[in-house]
Structure 1
Amino acid sequence: MLPIENSLAGSVHQAYDLLLERDLRVWGEVILRVRHALLAPAGTTLADVRQVRSHPQALAQCAGYLARHGLEPVPAYDTAGAARELAENPEPGVAAIASALAGQRYGLTVLAHGIEDYPWNYTRFFVLGHEDPPRAEHNKTSVVFAVRHAPGALYACLGEFAQRGINLTKIESRPRRNRPWHYIFYLDFEGHWQDPDCEKALIGLLRRAVFVKMLGSYPADRGRSREEREA
């Protein structure tokens, strides 16, 4: 699974770049509640800790806790990796942010549970594969596209979806690496590419955009919408 965005800290840009560069299909999405724990080698107390290592997203999600305790955030490649590295190479005054399960797996002590700043903290993951998944009752589709550098170009592309009543759930811009100050757009919308209206909208997008890559149509995780309705 690939973490793609967090409800508080935003998108994981490296993940979007990976989707553009690799020949992978989105097989599904999973939305999980994030519960962070502060982990340290056995015998460490909270008063001993001076520095905390984790993925930048996790550090951002726990920024308030770190500030209140005067702890220095240090970026690492990922949360579980930070816990594993700390277990294999313990350093005085250093802790990691990861799940309590990671602490259990690597033999670290949980100094504090639930240190994320907000309880409504969710991370969305893409399940990746090399083939298209079976069609489900509720689907989403993800595409990436680029437009002409001209007035109204993006508006015209998005209009293909608006005029057919297709709900866009996300749009994200990223720089085009081979063209400074030009951008590509990642778009998620409700529906399957084989739905008649979705198919027509994608044909319109192909006609108007200068580049289109289909990332996949996949079963939607309905959990976040349900949580939001209950909030």
Structure 2
Amino acid sequence: MGHPQALAQCEQTLTKLGIDHREAVDDTAGAAKYIAEQKLQDTGAVASSLAAQLYGLDILAENIQDDTDNVTRFMMLAREPIIARTDKPFKTSIVFSLEEGPGQLFKALAVFAALRKINLTKMESRPHNKRPLRVADDNCSTPLKHFDYLFYVDFEASMADPNAQNALSNLKVIQVMTWVMP
């Protein structure tokens, strides 16, 4: 029993263990809770060790994911900002787009790394779904076509850190939109 994604990430291991029947549920901790509440003896859950501890279950096997490098990140979204603490390491993810122009991406990244020594751990760019193609007429015989991009950046800092707050404030000055995910 487990969330479909968790079951898929353990498919080979579960098969090797001889577990043929798998039941998908809404979440991994919920699977552990259900097994504990129903006092099921012949059912297991793909869940965290914390879920096992919370619901008084025995851990039968650990690290059962098929890919040992697999990492799952969980995000919390809220209408109002939730300011994280600074007493432990945090990774913050943001999504932003930039106005077209030379050096815009450099300026955006500089507000983190160069000016505030905030370590960037990941960066991806994807064409903007709502505005994938922009036509620029610069008096040429054929107009130039440009893609607008969204930039996904992870950095090591809590949003409670003044450096991170200042970096995002500076980023707003040079770009269009920012979406923050602590």
TM-score with structure 2 setting the length: 0.53
CA contact (8 A) 2:94 2:179 kept: yes
The partner residue of 2:3 within 39, 55, 63 is 55
Q: CA deviation at 1:151?
A: 7.4
CA contact (8 A) 2:92 2:156 kept: no
**Structure 2 match to 1:169:** 121
**Structure 2 match to 1:208:** 174
1:132 matched to 2:83? The reply is yes
CA distance in 2, matches of 1:133, 1:208: 25
Tell me: CA distance 1:159–1:134, structure 2 relative to 1, closer, same or farther (3 Å).
Answer: closer
Deviates more, 1:205-214 or 1:118-127: 118-127
CA distance in 2, matches of 1:83, 1:167: 37
Report which structure shows greater RCO (CA 8 Å, sep ≥6): 1
Tell me: CA distance 1:141–1:102, structure 2 relative to 1, closer, same or farther (3 Å).
Answer: closer
- Residue 162 of structure 2 aligns to a residue whose secondary structure is coil
Gap regions ≥5 residues in structure 2:
133-147
- Taking only the aligned residue pairs, the percentage that are identical comes to 34
Structure in which a larger fraction of residues adopt strand: 1
CA distance in 1, matches of 2:9, 2:70: 8
CA distance in 1, matches of 2:57, 2:156: 42
Q: CA deviation at 1:140?
A: 4.4
Q: CA deviation at 1:59?
A: 2.1
1:189 matched to 2:137? The reply is no
Tell me: CA distance 1:58–1:173, structure 2 relative to 1, closer, same or farther (3 Å).
Answer: farther
CA distance in 2, matches of 1:139, 1:99: 21
CA distance in 2, matches of 1:140, 1:99: 20
The residue type equivalent to 2:31 in the other structure is A
Larger radius of gyration: 2
**Structure 1 match to 2:140:** none
The residue type equivalent to 1:161 in the other structure is F
**Structure 1 match to 2:97:** 147
CA contact (8 A) 1:140 1:188 kept: no
The residue type equivalent to 1:75 in the other structure is A
Q: CA deviation at 1:79?
A: 1.0
CA distance in 2, matches of 1:99, 1:161: 34
Count of residue correspondences: 159
The partner residue of 1:96 within 45, 55, 65 is 45
Tell me: CA distance 1:79–1:157, structure 2 relative to 1, closer, same or farther (3 Å).
Answer: same
Q: CA deviation at 1:194?
A: 1.8
RMSD across aligned positions (CA): 4.8
Q: CA deviation at 1:168?
A: 0.8
Gap regions ≥5 residues in structure 1:
1-52, 217-231
- Residue 206 of structure 1 aligns to a residue whose secondary structure is helix
